[in-house]
Amino acid sequence: MISEIKVLDLSDKRGIMCSKVLSGLGAQVIQVEPIAGSDARMQGPFINDVPGIERSLYWHAYATDRRSMTLDLTLTRGRQIFKDLVRRSDVVIESSDPGYLPSLNLGYSDLVKVKTDIIMASVTPFGQTGPKSDYLATDLTGVALGGSMYLTGEKDRAPVRIGHSQQFWLLGGAAASAGVMIAAFHHSQTGEGQYIDVSCQQAVSRTLSHAPQIWDLSGENLSRNGAYRKIGNVSMRITYPCSDGEVSFFYPAGKVGARSMDGLAKWMSNEGVHEKAITNVDWSKFEFGTISQEVLDDLESALLKFFSNKTKSELSAGAVKFRVILFQLNSSEDLLNNAQLRARGFWTPLNHPLESNNFRHSQLQHPGGFASIDNFNLGPKALAPSLGQHTNQILYRELGYTETQIESLRLSHVI
């Protein structure tokens, strides 16, 4: 795919998703870490809940398919080595605070003097410019300022963030990878490098592109409403409990909604269930926002009863068979055992060298690629490296350092 592209990744947990995507596409990535290691290595959860720089599952998840070298960029010799690597690279990724790399003479304006066509991507909470560019952020404050928390949670309670991982940083890193790909294409056409300024806040806000459409359709601003979706002056339940979890059911109105409801009525009838709230309603007459709260309340009562004694998998199978707009809410375990994902070979097992001492299971199961491509594996192919695992190799093979010179750099704490 992009195996000819060489990437230097200076980023920490805030930007690591960028090179995760690029390395999955085949890019050659070198992770340049501080002597103490990237802070992504100390991001939990940890293997067997024991912290350690080689035990972070966050690191193992997002730092696959790369080499690691340590380098102290605060030292003149360290910066010289980094610039030597830049001359042999196509892309630099970083996620330091705005102004930090320029203070070391390693900003974009400095690196283009080293390699005129270099592509550089900076991933920061709010971008390089603007009144909040120097603000710090956490995942919690970031997704709040990005707008997603306003839409998540119960309407009578405080907003909540998505629980899984660091969405603020992952979305920013993913946006940076798209920017790098666009810049790489531009480079292939013009020979020009570019600077990519990524705001994680903007990346989060971009995921809410559906929210403004609600205003266009109903004249109402979308807000958090728990298990319900506000549509104009009414609320429709879209998350329902079942015997082993939850499912999502949605009635979109119009012809599509009517077809789904007809399928649901047939499904229920086949099982000897006859609910007037479903069978006695002409669902084709409703358009988006025109259904009454009374009809929706009756629908909710009928579905709560019908769904309650069925499992997620039973409801999913019935939804497919009768063409009902319903899908199960998967847990991590559900995804790991999902027949569709397994049939496509999505889960990729990678052996860990310390597995016999530290792992409850023999292999780490990694999510695979986002698509299946002939003759190319988009999924992870190599485990995340140990700290500085490839420092000697990179200095020796790519920069021509001797073993004596490398040892001198180590004694001087440059590497």
Q: Is pLDDT at 357 greater than 70 in this prediction?
A: no
390 shares a domain with 247: no
193 shares a domain with 82: yes
pLDDT-derived band at 356 (thresholds 50, 70, 90) equals very low
Domain membership of residue 377 (yes or no) is: no
Q: Is pLDDT at 355 greater than 50 in this prediction?
A: no
Residue 44 belongs to what domain range? 6-207+385-411
108 shares a domain with 35: yes
Please, which residues have CB within 8 angstroms of residue 158's CB and are 6 or more apart in sequence?
Answer: none
Domain membership of residue 371 (yes or no) is: no
Please check whether residue 119 is in contact with residue 184, taking contact to mean a CB–CB distance below 8 angstroms.
yes
200 shares a domain with 55: yes
How far is it, in rounded angstroms, from Cα 309 to Cα 98?
55
- CATH code at position 290: 3.30.1540
Domain membership of residue 126 (yes or no) is: yes
Provide the number of structural domains found in the chain: 2
Q: Is pLDDT at 413 greater than 60 in this prediction?
A: yes
282 shares a domain with 323: yes
Q: Which of 306, 329, 352 is the last residue of a domain?
A: 329
Give strand ranges (E) for 250-360: 326-328, 348-350
65 shares a domain with 12: yes
Q: Which of 289, 308, 329 is the last residue of a domain?
A: 329
Whether the ω angle into residue 45 lies within 30 degrees of 0, i.e. cis, is yes
302 shares a domain with 227: yes
248 shares a domain with 168: no
215 shares a domain with 203: no
Q: What six digits make up the tokens of 405?
A: 């010179």
How far is it, in rounded angstroms, from Cα 221 to Cα 218?
8
How far is it, in rounded angstroms, from Cα 239 to Cα 261?
16
| pTM of the complete model | 0.90
How far is it, in rounded angstroms, from Cα 168 to Cα 173?
9
Report residue 124 CA to chain centroid gap: 16
CB burial of residue 392 (10 Å; 0-12, 13-18, 19+): middle
Domain membership of residue 355 (yes or no) is: no
Domain membership of residue 63 (yes or no) is: yes
Q: What is the pLDDT of residues 264-285, one digit of tens each?
A: 999 999 999 989 999 888 888 8
154 shares a domain with 59: yes
Please check whether residue 196 is in contact with residue 204, taking contact to mean a CB–CB distance below 8 angstroms.
no
Domain membership of residue 273 (yes or no) is: yes
- What's the mean pLDDT when you consider all of the chain? 92
Q: What is the pLDDT of residues 105-133, one digit of tens each?
A: 999 999 999 999 999 999 999 999 999 99
Domain membership of residue 349 (yes or no) is: no
Q: What is the pLDDT of residues 137-190, one digit of tens each?
A: 999 999 999 999 999 999 899 999 887 777 899 999 999 999 999 999 999 999
Q: Is pLDDT at 197 greater than 50 in this prediction?
A: yes
120 shares a domain with 19: yes
202 shares a domain with 223: no
Q: Which of 287, 305, 329 is the last residue of a domain?
A: 329
Domain membership of residue 260 (yes or no) is: yes
- CATH code at position 161: 3.40.50.10540
